[in-house]
């Protein structure tokens, strides 16, 4: 049965590949790697191990690993104009854990956004913040503009005097007002940390904000959302002391990682090199696409948050589908039509199981070459399922027809190659 089990597993993976090749993927936290990044992901790096920093390993056999990691750090610093970079965290949440281990003791106060306001689960009581037993205090939030309230946040920061002020969202529509808060950060004397997982690629392309020039000391991030690399993590910093940098490096290893998934680190290095060339154009188009998607859905009678602000300045939009059955029902109907998205809490929601919203991202569709005209078509397909309640099986055929025109990867060194195939290494 062992061989049959292995065959079954491979078949399911191939089925998944085919499904997504014929689907419209709109999960805001996903993307497609380039063929070159995939190539190094399945290299011999996948079978090897390294602990520590380049030149200071606890294992032999890392001559070329050290060269790749050193280049990755160099590229990350250059791309994000950072003084510090660590490419060893194996995910965005692990990067967050490293920050917590380095700079927060149990009982310390950290200010952050609430889950219903769009925060990531790692900042919640049941996530990394809770596991570290920090005292998490939420910012006042303006639901109309989907952003923190500046005056209220200034008062809060002065009142609670957090050790760390943390920012960053999973529903990240607009940049946080960091410049307006910078004087307060300095007055309070807190470390300023932003989780930029969702918007890292937009930052690389100069399309969202520039945290390290706006008062942020430290960025944590995953590397597979608007930044189209592997499932991995990264830390970036500026205006940090040497002691703080060393504490963070020790928190990464041996704090929250052992070996740091060398194949993913190499794929991240390739993506950093590609984004130096393509980030500006890619990020600009992703943002244009998301705004067009929001506008088109709104015109079709589907409520999209923040219409007066242009819906979004990022790759994502938030949609209120409460009148159409809610986020859970609509997400399932859309999946039945091969439109892949996720239910999502909106600020007034109290249940993450049955929220009123959907989160839609345009970054992966942008990666395969879709532009504003295709966003109008995608909006029509969504409206047919969500509002008109057409049979998803019927809509699925039109989804497949649209997607057939967009199966090749763009904005990378291997532009034009199939996005949903895995290459084999050629000696």
CA 393: distance to chain centroid? 30
Rounded (5°) CA angle 326-27-345? 35
pLDDT, tens digit, 9 for 90 and up, residues 245-294? 999 999 999 999 999 999 999 999 999 999 999 999 999 999 999 999 99
Question: What is the residue-level pLDDT of the chain in tens, covering all 427 positions?
Answer: 689 999 999 999 999 999 999 999 999 999 999 999 999 999 999 999 999 999 999 989 999 999 999 999 999 999 999 999 999 999 999 999 999 999 999 999 999 998 877 777 777 777 778 788 888 999 999 989 999 999 999 999 999 999 999 999 888 999 999 999 999 999 999 999 999 999 999 999 999 999 999 999 999 999 999 999 999 999 999 999 999 999 999 999 999 999 999 999 999 999 999 999 999 999 999 999 999 999 999 999 999 999 999 999 999 999 999 999 999 999 999 999 999 999 999 988 888 889 999 999 999 999 999 999 999 999 999 999 999 999 999 999 999 999 999 999 999 998 888 887 755 443 3
Report the distance separating Cα 174 and Cα 145, nearest Å: 8
43 upstream amide cis, omega within 30 of 0: no
Q: Is 196 in contact with 168 (CB distance < 8 Å)?
A: yes
The CATH number of the domain holding residue 155 is: 3.40.640.10
Residue 235: which of 104, 111, 129, 76 has the closest Cα? 76
In DSSP terms, which residues pair with 123 in a beta bridge?
Answer: none
- Whether residue 289 is contained in a domain is answered as no
Residue 73 lies in domain: 37-272
- Whether residue 291 is contained in a domain is answered as no
- Whether residue 119 is contained in a domain is answered as yes
User: What DSSP letter does each residue of 373-416 carry, written as one string?
Assistant: HHHHHHHHHHHHHHTS---HHHHHHHHHHHHTT--B--SSTTTT
State how many domains the chain has.
1
Report the distance separating Cα 412 and Cα 271, nearest Å: 8
- Whether residue 44 is contained in a domain is answered as yes
Report the distance separating Cα 372 and Cα 360, nearest Å: 15
Q: Is 168 in contact with 197 (CB distance < 8 Å)?
A: yes
Phi-psi region of 416 (alpha: psi -120 to 50; beta: other; left: phi over 0): left
Query: Residues with Cβ < 8 Å from 50, sequence gap 6 or more?
Result: 57, 59, 62, 65, 69, 259, 260, 262
Token pair in block for residue 388:
């008109």
- Whether residue 319 is contained in a domain is answered as no
- Whether residue 255 is contained in a domain is answered as yes
Residue 285, pLDDT score: 98
- Whether residue 236 is contained in a domain is answered as yes
Residue 146, pLDDT score: 93
Beta strands in 238-379 (DSSP E): 316-320, 339-340, 342-344, 357-361
- Whether residue 311 is contained in a domain is answered as no
Residue 426, pLDDT score: 39
**pTM as predicted:** 0.95
Residue 1, pLDDT score: 62
């Amino acid at each position: 049965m062992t061989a049959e089990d292995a065959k079954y597993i491979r078949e399911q993976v191939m089925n998944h590949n085919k499904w997504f090749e014929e689907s419209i993927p709109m999960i805001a936290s996903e993307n497609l790697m380039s063929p070159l990044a995939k190539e190094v992901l399945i290299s011999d790096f996948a079978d090897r191990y390294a602990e520590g920093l380049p030149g200071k390993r606890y294992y032999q056999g890392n001559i070329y690993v050290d060269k790749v990691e050193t280049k990755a750090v160099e590229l990350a610093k250059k791309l994000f104009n950072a003084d510090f970079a660590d490419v060893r965290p194996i995910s965005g949440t692990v990067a967050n854990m490293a920050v917590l281990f380095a700079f927060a003791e149990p009982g310390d106060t950290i200010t952050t956004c609430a889950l219903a306001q769009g925060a990531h689960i790692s900042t919640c009581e049941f996530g990394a913040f809770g596991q570290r037993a920090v005292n998490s205090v939420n910012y006042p939030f303006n639901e109309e503009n989907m952003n923190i309230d500046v005056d209220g946040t200034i008062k809060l920061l002065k009142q609670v005097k957090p050790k760390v002020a943390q920012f960053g969202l999973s529903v990240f529509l607009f940049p946080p007002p960091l410049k307006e808060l910078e004087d307060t950060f300095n007055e309070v004397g807190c470390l300023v940390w932003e989780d930029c997982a969702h918007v890292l690629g937009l930052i690389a392309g100069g399309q969202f904000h520039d945290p390290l020039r706006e008062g942020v000391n430290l960025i944590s991030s995953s590397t597979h959302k608007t930044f189209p690399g592997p499932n991995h993590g990264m830390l970036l910093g500026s205006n940090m002391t040497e002691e703080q940098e060393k504490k963070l490096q020790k928190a990464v290893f041996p704090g929250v990682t052992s070996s740091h998934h060398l194949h993913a680190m190499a794929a991240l290095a390739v993506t950093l090199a590609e984004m130096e060339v393509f980030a500006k154009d890619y990020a600009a188009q992703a943002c244009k696409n998301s705004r067009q998607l929001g506008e088109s859905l709104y015109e079709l009678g589907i409520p999209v948050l923040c219409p007066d602000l242009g819906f979004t300045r990022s790759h994502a939009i938030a949609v209120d589908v409460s009148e159409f059955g809610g986020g859970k029902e609509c997400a399932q109907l859309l999946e039945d039509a091969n439109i892949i998205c996720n239910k999502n809490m909106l600020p007034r929601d109290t249940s993450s199981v049955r929220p009123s919203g959907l989160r839609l991202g345009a970054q992966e569709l942008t990666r395969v070459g879709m532009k504003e005209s295709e966003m109008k078509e995608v909006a029509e397909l969504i409206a047919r399922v969500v509002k008109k309640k057409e049979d998803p099986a019927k809509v699925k055929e039109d989804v497949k027809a649209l997607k057939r025109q967009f199966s090749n990867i763009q904005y990378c060194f291997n532009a034009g190659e199939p996005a949903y195939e895995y290459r084999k290494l050629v000696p």
